[in-house]
Amino acid sequence: MIVVQKYGGSSVGSTEKIAAVAKRIAGRAKEAQVVVVVSAMGDTTDEMISMAKALCAVPDEREMDKLLSTGEQASSALMAMALQELGQKAVSLTGGQAGIITERIQGRARILKIDGKRLKDELNKGNVVVVAGFQGITENASWADITTLGRGGSDTTAVALAAALNADKCEIYTDVDGVFTADPRIVPDAVKIDTISYEEMLEMAGQGARVMHSRAVELGQLYDVDILVANSAKAVPGTIITKEDPKMEVRNPVRGIAHDTDVTRFTVVAIPDQPGVAAKLFHAPAQANINVDVIVQNVSSEGCADISFTVADVDFEKAKKAIEPVVDELHAKDLLIDQTLAKVSIVGSGMRSNPGYADKMFQALASEGINILSIATSEIRITCLIEREKVKQAVRALHKVFELEKV
Amino acid sequence: MIVVQKYGGSSVGSTEKIAAVAKRIAGRAKEAQVVVVVSAMGDTTDEMISMAKALCAVPDEREMDKLLSTGEQASSALMAMALQELGQKAVSLTGGQAGIITERIQGRARILKIDGKRLKDELNKGNVVVVAGFQGITENASWADITTLGRGGSDTTAVALAAALNADKCEIYTDVDGVFTADPRIVPDAVKIDTISYEEMLEMAGQGARVMHSRAVELGQLYDVDILVANSAKAVPGTIITKEDPKMEVRNPVRGIAHDTDVTRFTVVAIPDQPGVAAKLFHAPAQANINVDVIVQNVSSEGCADISFTVADVDFEKAKKAIEPVVDELHAKDLLIDQTLAKVSIVGSGMRSNPGYADKMFQALASEGINILSIATSEIRITCLIEREKVKQAVRALHKVFELEKV
């Protein structure tokens, strides 16, 4: 049996925590071949980002990847030492040594392939293999560069390795107990979900439920890897992310309430309402690898349109730089930027075949006196853009209206 | 013109210092192709060693190398960013990316070869190339492991790169002004030496003058690389390490006084005085890659001998472990360990053809009431083992007797 386990930064935030996690891993290694993926220790990554920003306004992404990847390289070596101290054979591998080959795109590289040869050989030698998460290497050996998979990329590393090794289990250990019907810090009644489908998890994650990285879930779905999300410090069952739950028809069609305050809205005012305008406008952020969400277009009276959309706050500067030239080129009247908003969403694959959820959601927000600024929907999600300061109130109201405490 | 510059840990100990050094480098890059070798920032390496030791008594050397190499990888990326911020094109390379291929020996690997292709290509693109010092990679690509060159190995990296690139200059920037006739903290009269031969520098370094790593000097000698040692924070000329100085015959035959308090003496008491005993005894530390110095053998009355020798304090545990079984095997009466001693040496290639220096040295120590416990000599060096607490007194006395303040 092969088990892939991932431990996040807070689970390996000190040598004491590393030693504690090592015990857990050594126990597991008695019954299975174990691959461990680790994040950087605690705040290491943030500290390195601060240093880089102290040196330059916009650090070069190649150098940034080179810098940040050291965090996971260090924690993986320390974890291997901690395992050895327990008498457990162990070896640490960088992303490159683990055969994780990515595109040559810095900061957000996608995995192209995994050459699992060394990983398997090290496992067969009786080693727990500790892989530095979040990173890979570009293909060409003599010009190989270190790449990173983007924030939260260690989850992606774990799922990708589980897929490549055809592992029996993929376990993501973190500092939360699993996926909840809403953020328990906001909704004390929130209930842990035992099983959630890939699609639902993707919608939850995409809307700010920061339990797992979306790309990791997508990868799990693509390669049919069941993913357990659980607490590294407790012995309680977590949440399993897997294919559509057969019990779905008898359960609450709404699985959870997600929210995201990490939202910047751009509004491009009065651009000509002509074919190709949207294509031009959104080509720029796409080129810059920026995710755009909640796109709304209003046609105004004089043959002009207003287009608004949101990006993550972290992408704000990059997005602004990418969009401004296009706004000029299209002779738009203005570019408005709003950083006082938040997204709140209801998610559930049962909503697909049952109408009326949007109505119920809007009613609930209205009865709380919360104004809806934009609406975006997917098959299994409805998202409203609201004032940021009312987001907790909105999450609580929706959790109650959809009776999620009874799940 | 190609210039290789190395900046030590204290020169890159903060983002402010990195920015200051970057300015210096960018200035130089206007007139030459520059390769920069950096050490880890300030105390990073020591902090990592502490973390490793918190996790295990004797950390695995492969994992240790993997851990420690991240320090230089991080500082090289930060330096590249700082250069870019000044508008200077720059790229950072790990030891492996710089083509530094080493033996598969962890912790103290020797460089086997340097494949300078990528380095040259990056230089020809107009980049300052910032190489992570102290590290290399083993040859076999798919099973490549990160190795380190041992403490102070960044000097070795710099000289090796200068040799491989046939560089015009190799400059080691540190926090001292150069090589002095004695440690200026002990002898206020100590004088900076403008030019010193490789051999003299090797003897000085081997005896505790911690300006430069011995292996780097040896490498310089082997490949005929002139090495400048200078202060990274000042614009004063440093010391050039080069071939035998032609002015040698007219200058003071003694070039400097070295001392070393990092000394543990082992004495193996009463082992049979037979052929092969010394070979057996010293095979063990050699196998463990431990440098042994000041070997003295006294034959005692009953066909037995006492053998004593010194190792660096840092090697004490390893040496003890290596020697104890041999001591048992040889039926020695006892193994004594003394950590209260120090070495003091006079160094100078002019001593080779001029007798009488040993006599003068012993007289000087005697007149200070300092007892000599052992003596060891090379062609161009005389070393005495004395009480550690009298080492400063000895250095001052010898500096005066050999009139080094007049150099």
Cα gap A338→A350, rounded to integer Å: 33
Q: Is residue A208 a part of any domain in this protein? A: no
Contact B56 A94 (CB under 8 A): no
Q: Three-state DSSP class for B6? A: strand
Q: Three-state DSSP class for B19? A: helix
Six token digits for residue A350: 């049962």
Cα gap A111→B68, rounded to integer Å: 27
Positive/negative CA dihedral, A387, A393, A395, A400: negative
What is the pLDDT at residue A293? 87
A170 and A268 belong to one structural domain = no
Q: Give the domain range for residue B333.
A: 264-338
Contact indicator for B12, B45 with CB cutoff of 8 Å: no
Cα gap A108→A95, rounded to integer Å: 14
Do strands A341-347 and A381-387 pair parallel, antiparallel, or not at all (unpaired)? Answer: antiparallel
Q: Mean pLDDT, to the nearest integer, of A13-21? A: 96
B143 and B268 belong to one structural domain = no
Cα gap B68→A70, rounded to integer Å: 10
Contact A55 B143 (CB under 8 A): no
Q: Is residue A170 a part of any domain in this protein? A: yes
What is the pLDDT at residue B108? 86
pLDDT exceeds 90 at position A278: no
Contact B84 A60 (CB under 8 A): yes
Quickly tell me which residue has 């990888």 as its tokens.
Answer: B73
Please, what is the average pLDDT of chain A?
Answer: 91
Contact indicator for B111, B28 with CB cutoff of 8 Å: no
Contact A66 B94 (CB under 8 A): yes
Contacting residues of B for A69, CB less than 8 Å apart: 73
- To the nearest whole angstrom, how far is the Cα of B116 from the nearest Cα of chain A? 11
Give the chain A residue nearest B92 (alpha carbons): A63
Q: Mean pLDDT, to the nearest integer, of A97-101? A: 96
Question: Each residue of B81-117: pLDDT tens digit?
Answer: 999 999 999 999 999 999 999 999 998 899 999 999 9
Give the chain B residue nearest A49 (alpha carbons): B78
Contact B78 A52 (CB under 8 A): yes
Closest among A1, A57, A3 to A227, alpha carbons compared = A3
Q: Is residue B65 a part of any domain in this protein? A: yes
Segments in A165-213 forming alpha helices (H) = 198-206
Q: Mean pLDDT, to the nearest integer, of B365-377? A: 92
pLDDT exceeds 70 at position A171: yes
pLDDT band at A249 (very low <50, low <70, confident <90, very high): low
Contact B55 A18 (CB under 8 A): yes
Cα gap B100→B64, rounded to integer Å: 19
- To the nearest whole angstrom, how far is the Cα of A315 from the nearest Cα of chain B? 20
Contact B142 A117 (CB under 8 A): yes
Cα gap A95→A90, rounded to integer Å: 16
- To the nearest whole angstrom, how far is the Cα of A40 from the nearest Cα of chain B? 12
Instruction: Closest CB to A92: pick one of B51, B66, B143.
Output: B66
Six token digits for residue B131: 């190489």
- To the nearest whole angstrom, how far is the Cα of A254 from the nearest Cα of chain B? 46
Q: Is residue A373 a part of any domain in this protein? A: no
In DSSP notation, A296-363 reads: EEEE-TTSEEEEEEEE-GGGHHHHHHHHHHHHHHTT-SEEEEE-SEEEEEEE-GGGGG---HHHHHHH
Six token digits for residue B76: 């090289």
Cα gap A286→A277, rounded to integer Å: 15
Six token digits for residue B119: 């380095």
Question: Each residue of B155-208: pLDDT tens digit?
Answer: 999 999 999 999 999 999 998 899 999 999 999 999 999 999 999 999 988 777
Torsion of CA A229, A231, A236, A240, to 10 degrees: 0
Question: Each residue of A202-243: pLDDT tens digit?
Answer: 998 877 777 888 889 999 999 999 999 999 888 889 999 999
B139 and B276 belong to one structural domain = no
Contacting residues of B for A67, CB less than 8 Å apart: 73-74, 77-78, 81
Which ipTM value was assigned to this complex? 0.81
Q: Is residue A212 a part of any domain in this protein? A: no
Cα gap B238→B228, rounded to integer Å: 6
Contact B55 A15 (CB under 8 A): yes
Q: Mean pLDDT, to the nearest integer, of A76-101? A: 97
- To the nearest whole angstrom, how far is the Cα of B87 from the nearest Cα of chain A? 11
What is the pLDDT at residue A382? 93
What is the pLDDT at residue B38? 97
Cα gap A334→A332, rounded to integer Å: 6
Contacting residues of B for A51, CB less than 8 Å apart: 15, 78
- To the nearest whole angstrom, how far is the Cα of B4 from the nearest Cα of chain A? 20
A163 and A32 belong to one structural domain = yes
Specify the DSSP class assigned to residue A391.
H
The three-point CA angle B119-B123-B126 to 5° equals 150
> End of a domain among B140, B175, B210?
B175
B7 and B150 belong to one structural domain = yes
Contact B84 A56 (CB under 8 A): yes
Instruction: Closest CB to A78: pick one of B55, B85, B117.
Output: B55
A276 and A161 belong to one structural domain = no
A19 and A168 belong to one structural domain = yes
Cα gap A80→A25, rounded to integer Å: 11
Quickly tell me which residue has 């400097």 as its tokens.
Answer: B256
Contacting residues of A for B74, CB less than 8 Å apart: 48, 67, 70
CATH of the domain at B305: 3.30.2130.10
Contacting residues of B for A66, CB less than 8 Å apart: 73, 76-77, 80, 92, 94
Six token digits for residue B15: 């983002």
CB atoms within 10 A of CB A224: 10
pLDDT band at A248 (very low <50, low <70, confident <90, very high): low
Contact A60 B18 (CB under 8 A): no
Give the chain A residue nearest B21 (alpha carbons): A55
Contact indicator for B202, B217 with CB cutoff of 8 Å: yes
Cα gap B201→B213, rounded to integer Å: 10
Q: Is residue B32 a part of any domain in this protein? A: yes
Instruction: Closest CB to B81: pick one of A63, A143, A145.
Output: A63
How many Cβ pairs within 8 Å bridge chains A and B? 112
Question: Each residue of A375-400: pLDDT tens digit?
Answer: 988 889 999 999 999 999 999 999 99
- To the nearest whole angstrom, how far is the Cα of B81 from the nearest Cα of chain A? 6
Strand partners, B38: B7, B132
Strand partners, B113: B101
Instruction: Closest CB to A77: pick one of B18, B63, B143.
Output: B63
- To the nearest whole angstrom, how far is the Cα of A162 from the nearest Cα of chain B? 21
What is the pLDDT at residue B338? 94
Cα gap B79→A52, rounded to integer Å: 9
Element (H, E) at B82: helix B61-85
Q: Is residue A370 a part of any domain in this protein? A: no
Six token digits for residue A1: 């049996």
pLDDT band at B77 (very low <50, low <70, confident <90, very high): very high
Give the chain A residue nearest B59 (alpha carbons): A81
Contact indicator for A157, A151 with CB cutoff of 8 Å: no
pLDDT band at B230 (very low <50, low <70, confident <90, very high): very high
Contact A142 B15 (CB under 8 A): no
Q: Which residue has the higher pLDDT, A247 or B346?
A: B346
Contact B66 A76 (CB under 8 A): yes
Chain A residues within 8 Å of chain B (Cβ atoms)? 15, 18-19, 48, 51-52, 54-57, 59-60, 62-64, 66-67, 69-71, 73-74, 76-78, 80-82, 84-85, 91-92, 94, 97, 115, 117-118, 141-146
**pTM score above 0.80:** yes
Beta strands in B246-316 (DSSP E): 256-260, 264-272, 293-299, 304-311
The distance from CA A270 to its chain's CA centroid, rounded to whole angstroms, is: 34
Question: Which of B16, B18, B25, B78 has the highest number of chain A CBs within 10 A, making it the mutation to test binding with A?
Answer: B78
Contact A56 B82 (CB under 8 A): yes
Instruction: Closest CB to B85: pick one of A55, A64, A143.
Output: A55
> End of a domain among B126, B150, B175?
B175
Q: Residue A35 contacts by C-beta under 8 Å, 6 or more apart in sequence? A: A2, A3, A4, A5, A119, A123, A128, A129, A131, A161, A165, A167
- To the nearest whole angstrom, how far is the Cα of A169 from the nearest Cα of chain B? 26
Beta strands in B194-250 (DSSP E): 195-197, 227-231, 239-242
Question: Each residue of A180-198: pLDDT tens digit?
Answer: 999 999 999 999 999 999 9
Please, what is the average pLDDT of chain B?
Answer: 91
Contacting residues of A for B60, CB less than 8 Å apart: 80-81, 84
Give the chain A residue nearest B130 (alpha carbons): A63
Contacting residues of B for A18, CB less than 8 Å apart: 55
Tally of domains in chain B: 2
Least confident of A335-339, A354-358, A361-365: A354-358
Taking every pair of Cα atoms in chain A, the longest distance, rounded to a whole number of angstroms, is 76
CATH of the domain at A55: 3.40.1160.10
- To the nearest whole angstrom, how far is the Cα of B264 from the nearest Cα of chain A? 28
Percent of chain B with pLDDT over 90: 71
> End of a domain among B292, B323, B338?
B338
Do strands A169-174 and A227-231 pair parallel, antiparallel, or not at all (unpaired)? Answer: parallel
Cα gap A308→A269, rounded to integer Å: 8
Contact indicator for B219, B193 with CB cutoff of 8 Å: no
What is the pLDDT at residue B248? 58
Contact A92 B63 (CB under 8 A): yes
Give the side-chain half-sphere CA count within 13 A for B263: 29
SS3 content of chain B, % helix, strand, coil (to 5): 40, 25, 35
What is the pLDDT at residue B169? 94
Q: Is residue A160 a part of any domain in this protein? A: yes
